[in-house]
Structure 1
Amino acid sequence: MQVIVAETAGFCKGVRTALELTLEAARKAPEGEILCTFGPLIHNRQVLEMLEERGVREVRTVEECAGKKVIVRAHGIPPEQRRELRAVSTGLVDATCKRVARVQAIIRKHARKGGHTVIAGDADHAEVIGLMGYTEGLGRVVRQPDEIDSLPAHWERVLLVAQTTQNEEVFQEIERRFRKRYPQGIVHNTICGATHERQAEVKRIARQVDAMVIVGGFHSGNTVRLAEVARECGVPTYHVETEQDLSPRQMGRYAKVGVSAGASTPNWMIRNVVRFLEGIRSEEALGRRSWARWAEIAAYSNLGGALGAAWLTAAVSALTRLPSTLQDAFMAGAYVFAMHTLNRYLDREATQLNDPERAAFYRRWRLPLMSASLLAAALALVLAFWRGPLSFFAMVLLVFFGMIYTVPILQPHWRQSLSALKIKDIPASKTLTVPLAWASVTVFIPHLDHIDDAFGSILLVFIVVFLLVLMRTAFMDCLDIQGDRLVGRETVVVLLGENETIRYLWIVLAALSGTLLGGAWLGALTPFAFFLLPAAGVYAWFLRTTHGRRIHQAPVLEILIELVIVGIGVMGLVWNFIT
């Protein structure tokens, strides 16, 4: 079965911000402080269960909020409830979506002038209940276009707004009737831009597939709208919360299926649905699936990264004319395998949120992977010891910092004064420390003996490898962005956002190209530097072309990213052999 996944599927900005604010409040909460959300933070049962595990409870009444810190849900609340909560709680964290807050402001301004407000939406939806609180008793809710005809015709000052997740076509018809009934009325199309994009993409995909699957909570308004839009396109549509709601026999009738998801649906749920659908395949597709499965195993076991680091030592030699041995390759590969495997396992919370399949793989193979990781770390230390005391000391430091990356290094009673309890909690630490470690183990440690006579070349190659691996790591962070956000890991992608990170990577590309060209022109690097220019550009191509496939093809993309490093190493080996 061929599966097409919508690029817009998954968390919208408002939901993401609400979750980030909630998780940040949970992390910074003093011991004994009780956190609660007034109503469900978002309409997704699985995410709410995740918040419950982190001590964030859902309450339904103002009385239950007494003495607690309260998080205002993304849908917003009426102003009267806000005042009541301020009176009984120990503080409010406002997680109201900015788009919803804008609609509230529009209604408040209009109502204070004595005007009536018509809200196109569902009267019992949390967002609409909150919006009605700003109408000062002069609001009405309409769900269908024909309900406009039942409104009083004598209203002089009338405003029409929309629930931010309203169906675009339904609102357009409501607007048409509204303008006919109230020629002097004011219309604000307050449907969220993300909602519009999702609905438009669902229509586009529905024209290409045999069936549509919409993933998200059954009580999520925007998810229900997506299912409605898909059905209106005339294709069989299945609204599901998880893959368990799908029947293999029923879905097996379709050759091509489209998948989209509501704004409160996390990536791991979408990925599980996609994997379920891709598991329903014809015999001729089994070969392709087999290749993808092997790619997943290679990615999950971190063999791709280990091979990349090992082969990279040959490229370093090709750039500097300094000797490179098989011992150097094994040392670099063993270190990278050990550290990546160990930290993936220790940071399994983010792994579970980003890729449940990988988390299950680690649970299943825990003993062999941990044993192999420790043996690889020991091998790296032994090979460094054979190189000499300086190399051994440098490797000891690398292994030490690598092993404590996800381990708390500060005492619990310092928690309130210091927020960074682990190296991984330092902003952008993951994105920057991985390239530093790779450059150290592939450039610095193998060539400590040549620091005095080839310092310039070693420094330039160190920068080249750092920038090259920085691009690799930033792209990996793009694949893991949702889980990193939810567990609070502040990678560069989380800090800057994905679009800003892509722009920043163009600067990294320019710096890498400039270093290669400048080093070759000055004679500090060999002409092999020119062969790295197109290889570096491959990462830019990945960033521009693979966004829509990241949700369900992350392991395959991860291996392709690692293969770029391996390819550079192979070219370096060939160059060394020829020259």
Structure 2
Amino acid sequence: MQVIVARTAGFCKGVRKALEVTLEAIQKRKDGESICTYGPLIHNKQVLAMLEEKGIREENHIENCANKHVVIRAHGIPPQERQELHRLGATLLNATCTRVARVHGVIKRHARRGYHTVITGDADHAEVIGLMGYTDGRGVVISKPEQVEALPADWDKVLLVAQTTQNEEIFNEIQDRFLKRYPNGIVKNTICGSTHERQAEVRELCSQVDAMVIVGGHHSGNTVRLAEIARESGVPTFHIETEAELDRLEMARYSRVGVSAGASTPNWIIRDVVRFLESIQPQNFDFKHKIKTILNLLVYGNFFVALGAALLPSIAHSLTGLSGSLAESSGMAACYAFAIHSLNIYLDRNAIQLNDPGRAAFYHRWRYAFTGLSIAATMVSLWLALNIGILTFLAMTVFVLLGVLYAVPLILPARWQNLSALKIKDIPTSKTFSVPIAWACVTVLLPHLPDLFRSFSVLIYAFWVVFLLVLARTALLDLLAVQGDRLVGKETLVVLVGEEKTKRFIMAVLGLLCLSLLVGSATGVAHSFALLMVFLVGVYVWYLGASYRNPLKEDPTHEALIESGVMGIGMLSLLWNAVVGI
């Protein structure tokens, strides 16, 4: 089955903000501090269940919020309830969507001037209830164009707004009738731009597919409207929360299916639905599906990680002509990267479960095989290090221990127990920077420890270039996994500073890498391979540019493309070594 996924599917900015506010509150929570949300934070049961596991309870009775830290839901609340929460001694954490807050401001300004407010939306929806609170008692909710005729004709000051997730076509019809009834009325189209894009894309998709699957909560207003739009387009439409609601035999009737999702639907749920649909294959051989299966196995099995690390010594050699055994250095690096990466993926399985449930299931199924292979790889890396020299062996032992302890809780003295970072991985940005530091050390410094002082300047240069290259690769991978990392509190750079700043950081790293290569070539520290590398670094620049147009989502294909940057440069370095004969 061919599956087309809407580019706009997944969390909108408002939902992302609500989760960020909540997760930040979790990280800063002190002992004995109680945090709750006033009503459901967003309309997605799976996300709410995960938050509840972290101790974030949903309170639907305002009196139960007394003296607590209260997260104001993304849909917002009426000002009267906000005042009551303050009276009850609650500390408010505002997670109201900025788009919704703007509608609050529009209604409030006009209400002060005596305007009646007509809200296009669902009267019992949390957002609309919040909007009504700003109308000074002069608000009315309608949901159908014909209801405009029932509004009082003698209103002289009338404002028309919309619930931010309303169907735009219905709002346009209501607007036309409203302006005929109230020629001097004011219309503010407050439908969120994200909602408009989702709805437009669903309409476009419906013309290209045999059926549509809309993923999201059954009580989510914007998701329900996406399903309504798809049905109005005349294609069979299935509104589901998870793939378990789909019938394999029924879906097998369609050869081309479109998938979109509501603003509160996490990427991992969308991905599970897509995987389920793609697994429904026709009887004839599907070459594309077989290739994707093999790619998944290579990514999940950490073979690309091991190959990328194995090629880094060759890159350093092509750049600077460092002497030494490439076979031993590459083997040591590959075994170390495979072992430590596999171990920490298992220890961080909660984040993987959120970002890629299929991958989590793969590791669980093959956990004993991965454990055995990781132990064997660690032993081989230490043996190869010993062959290089005793200093390299001792240093490799330290790096193995640090890698093993990365995600393991540390036993701290009693007076330090209040510290928030009880694991190395809990140190802010630890993953983003520790991986490139470790890889640069293992692939460049450790193999040449016996000649450290004799080739110090060249080693430091090669270390710097490899560090920058792996840093860009690691930060790009962090962008893919940001959604699950936020939910489990994983301390990557993108979680700390946000996606846009991380993208700018990666561009700066790639620029610094190109500058370092050019300077190295100009000063003679690096060989002419550095100029070829400048061109190859453009692959990462292009990929990052693509991420601005289409949000990155964790997927084996994306991950393989990111890893191919290091692997491609490494393969060319091998060819360079063979041809040039450094």
Q: Do Structure 1 and Structure 2 share a fold, with TM-score over 0.5? A: yes
Matches within 5 A, 1:341-490: 341-409=342-410, 411=412, 417-490=418-491
* Structure 1: gaps of 5 or more residues: none
Partner of 1:288: 288
* 1:257 match: secondary structure: strand
Residue 411 of structure 1 deviates from its aligned partner by 4.0
Q: Distance in 2 between matches of 1:160 and 1:296?
A: 51
Matches within 5 A, 1:219-298: 219-284=219-284, 286-298=286-298
Residue 264 of structure 1 deviates from its aligned partner by 0.4
What RMSD, in angstroms, separates the aligned Cα atoms of the two structures? Answer: 2.1
Q: Distance in 2 between matches of 1:561 and 1:288?
A: 20
Residue 225 of structure 1 deviates from its aligned partner by 1.3
Residue 257 of structure 1 deviates from its aligned partner by 1.2
Q: Distance in 1 between matches of 2:44 and 2:310?
A: 44
Partner of 2:92: 92
Partner of 1:79: 79
Matches within 5 A, 1:150-189: 150-189=150-189
Q: Distance in 1 between matches of 2:37 and 2:411?
A: 30
Partner of 1:10: 10
Question: Per-residue displacement from partner, 1:140-185 (whole Å, max 9, x unpaired)?
Answer: 0010112111111111111111101111111122122222222222
Partner of 1:536: 537
User: Are the structure 2 counterparts of residues 299 and 528 from structure 1 closer, same or farther at C-alpha, using a change threshold of 3 Å?
Assistant: same
Contact 1:28/1:416 (8 A) holds in 2: no
Partner of 1:507: 508
Residue 410 of structure 1 deviates from its aligned partner by 6.2
Contact 2:120/2:161 (8 A) holds in 1: yes
Residue type at the aligned position of 1:511: L
Partner of 1:24: 24
Q: Distance in 1 between matches of 2:413 and 2:539?
A: 44
Residue 123 of structure 1 deviates from its aligned partner by 0.3
Residue 413 of structure 1 deviates from its aligned partner by 6.5
Residue type at the aligned position of 1:77: I
Q: Distance in 1 between matches of 2:204 and 2:348?
A: 38
Q: Distance in 2 between matches of 1:299 and 1:554?
A: 9
Contact 1:415/1:421 (8 A) holds in 2: no
2:40 aligned with 1:40, yes or no?
yes
* 1:406 match: secondary structure: coil
2:337 aligned with 1:330, yes or no?
no
Partner of 1:300: 300
Q: TM-score, normalised on structure 2?
A: 0.94
Partner of 1:111: 111
* 2:231 match: secondary structure: helix
Question: Per-residue displacement from partner, 1:462-484 (whole Å, max 9, x unpaired)?
Answer: 12211211221122112111111
* 2:238 match: secondary structure: strand
Contact 2:391/2:450 (8 A) holds in 1: no
Residue 415 of structure 1 deviates from its aligned partner by 7.9
* Structure 2: gaps of 5 or more residues: none
Q: Distance in 1 between matches of 2:98 and 2:306?
A: 44
Q: Distance in 2 between matches of 1:308 and 1:497?
A: 27
Contact 2:121/2:166 (8 A) holds in 1: yes
Residue type at the aligned position of 2:110: H
Residue 219 of structure 1 deviates from its aligned partner by 0.4
2:555 aligned with 1:554, yes or no?
yes
Contact 1:5/1:549 (8 A) holds in 2: no
Contact 2:23/2:486 (8 A) holds in 1: no
Q: Distance in 1 between matches of 2:88 and 2:300?
A: 49
User: Are the structure 2 counterparts of residues 284 and 338 from structure 1 closer, same or farther at C-alpha, using a change threshold of 3 Å?
Assistant: same
Moved more, 303-312 or 444-453: 444-453
Task: State the percentage of identical aligned residues.
Answer: 56
Contact 1:38/1:71 (8 A) holds in 2: yes
User: Are the structure 2 counterparts of residues 255 and 141 from structure 1 closer, same or farther at C-alpha, using a change threshold of 3 Å?
Assistant: same
Question: Per-residue displacement from partner, 1:308-329 (whole Å, max 9, x unpaired)?
Answer: 1112212211211122331111
Residue type at the aligned position of 1:116: H
User: Are the structure 2 counterparts of residues 529 and 49 from structure 1 closer, same or farther at C-alpha, using a change threshold of 3 Å?
Assistant: same
Contact 2:389/2:450 (8 A) holds in 1: no
Q: Distance in 2 between matches of 1:539 and 1:64?
A: 51
User: Are the structure 2 counterparts of residues 76 and 318 from structure 1 closer, same or farther at C-alpha, using a change threshold of 3 Å?
Assistant: same
Partner of 1:311: 311
* 1:377 match: secondary structure: helix
Q: Distance in 1 between matches of 2:205 and 2:550?
A: 13
Residue 503 of structure 1 deviates from its aligned partner by 3.4
User: Are the structure 2 counterparts of residues 285 and 267 from structure 1 closer, same or farther at C-alpha, using a change threshold of 3 Å?
Assistant: farther
Contact 1:398/1:437 (8 A) holds in 2: yes
Q: Distance in 1 between matches of 2:376 and 2:174?
A: 68
* 2:491 match: secondary structure: coil
Residue 385 of structure 1 deviates from its aligned partner by 2.8
Residue type at the aligned position of 1:365: W
* 1:506 match: secondary structure: helix
Residue type at the aligned position of 1:295: L
Q: Distance in 2 between matches of 1:269 and 1:548?
A: 19
Partner of 2:209: 209
Residue 544 of structure 1 deviates from its aligned partner by 3.3
Partner of 1:491: 492
Moved more, 242-251 or 59-68: 59-68
Q: Distance in 1 between matches of 2:418 and 2:180?
A: 62
* 1:134 match: secondary structure: coil
Contact 1:69/1:89 (8 A) holds in 2: no
Q: Distance in 2 between matches of 1:413 and 1:3?
A: 55
User: Are the structure 2 counterparts of residues 410 and 90 from structure 1 closer, same or farther at C-alpha, using a change threshold of 3 Å?
Assistant: farther
